[in-house]
Amino acid sequence: MDAQQTVRRQISCVGIGLHSGNKVQLSLKPAPADFGIRFRRTDLGNLEVPATVKNLAGIQLATGLARNEVSVETVEHLLAALVSVGVDNVIVELNSPEVPIMDGSAAPFIYLINEAGVKRLTKPRKYLKIVRPIAISRGDKRIALYPSDHFKVTYSISYDHPLLRHQSRTIRITEDSFVEEIAPARTFTFLKDVEMLRQNGLALGGSLENAIVLGETGVLNNALRFEDEFVRHKILDAVGDLALVGYPVVGHLVAHRAGHALHTEFASKILEESHAWRLVDGVEAAALPATMPVKDVAPRLAN
């Protein structure tokens, strides 16, 4: 059986919030099957915010969640790490509103989860298998999901900057490929934007220790971890934002120039378009044909 999983034991780390600059402690705690991923604010009487699209709030530079006036921010890198190594159920305790930024990538969270270990539970895992295309576009920004036998991501970005005019990558997301190829990719920002962010009380914890900073002609950091670290980080963000649908997705995600606002709007749309997917267990996910007959798909593409 392809079973749901949680962490084997409680584990903690300390870091700073990217935007607040405040020190924050994060703990991962085991949770039962069908619990999902829930954030718990220990500084607010243990009030919880489940990591689902229903609780989306305040999407600007990072992805935030809120419920009953309790909020958590910058959840996407942690969510990407959890779902990519198969942690379906976990309590994420925070003593501050922001998940710590660590080094700006998901690698420290992978390390943390590996230290705790992963434990199988007794209930089967459900997958959200895409059977018809779902797409949205906003100007030149686009995002779509197509039927596929695996979870794959194709991402392309283009900026008016000599170092990242155009980058594109396709990757099949497995635990191994995510850990090796995507998790270490750091968030990035432009030096010209940093001053504006600071004036707005954002990125107060930001530094070359937790973000790639692009100057006019190059990066201010010593070195990149990958030549195309930027587009890899966008894949990381998309995987984390897509986790808010609440099930691992089986389909091919294709995004062009998207960001948190479009990723999360899309995650909501997926759940609304219930004719375009089926909830299946692991065995069915492999057996169900990835593509529907053309006549079924054509009317959807026409509008």
229 binds Zn ion (CB under 5 A): no
Residue number with CB closer to Zn ion (148 or 177): 177
Q: Binding segment for Zn ion among 64-72, 89-97, 232-240, 285-293 (CB under 5 A)?
A: 232-240
Tell which phi-psi region holds residue 206, choosing left (phi > 0), alpha (psi between -120 and 50) or beta.
beta
Give the Cα separation of 189 and 159 in Å (integer): 12
Phi and psi for 189 in degrees, rounded to 5?
A: -150, 165
88 binds Zn ion (CB under 5 A): no
Helix ranges (H only) for 94-173 are: 107-116
x/- contact string, 181-210, with Zn ion (CB under 5 A)?
------x-----------------------
Does 260 qualify as catalytic in the annotation? yes
Helix H or strand E segment including 40: strand 37-41
Type of residue numbered 287: A
Phi and psi for 249 in degrees, rounded to 5?
A: -95, 135
Rg (CA), the chain: 19
Residue number with CB closer to Zn ion (98 or 237): 237
Residue number with CB closer to Zn ion (73 or 237): 237
Residue number with CB closer to Zn ion (185 or 270): 185
Catalytic pick from 77, 233, 260, 263? 260
Q: What is the arrangement of strands in the sheet containing 249-250, beginning at the earlier edge strand?
A: 249-250, 126-130, 277-281
167 binds Zn ion (CB under 5 A): no
Structure tokens at 95: 């003593």
Residues 6+ apart with CB under 8 A from 299: none
Q: Binding segment for Zn ion among 83-91, 115-123, 141-149, 231-239 (CB under 5 A)?
A: 231-239
Residues that bind Zn ion (rule: CB under 5 A) add up to a total of 2
Q: How far is the CB of 77 from Zn ion (least distance, A)?
A: 6
Residue the block writes with tokens 């895409």: 130
- Reference 179, options 271, 113, 267; nearest CA is 113
Q: How far is the CB of 293 from Zn ion (least distance, A)?
A: 38
105 binds Zn ion (CB under 5 A): no
237 binds Zn ion (CB under 5 A): yes
Residue number with CB closer to Zn ion (88 or 237): 237
Residue number with CB closer to Zn ion (93 or 237): 237
Q: How far is the CB of 63 from Zn ion (least distance, A)?
A: 9
| SS3 of residue 292 by DSSP | coil
Question: Which residues make beta-bridge pairs with 3?
Answer: 124
73 binds Zn ion (CB under 5 A): no
Q: Binding segment for Zn ion among 16-24, 80-88, 90-98, 233-241 (CB under 5 A)?
A: 233-241
Give the Cα separation of 153 and 138 in Å (integer): 19
Residues that bind Zn ion (CB under 5 A): 187, 237
Q: Point out the residues that are catalytic.
A: 260
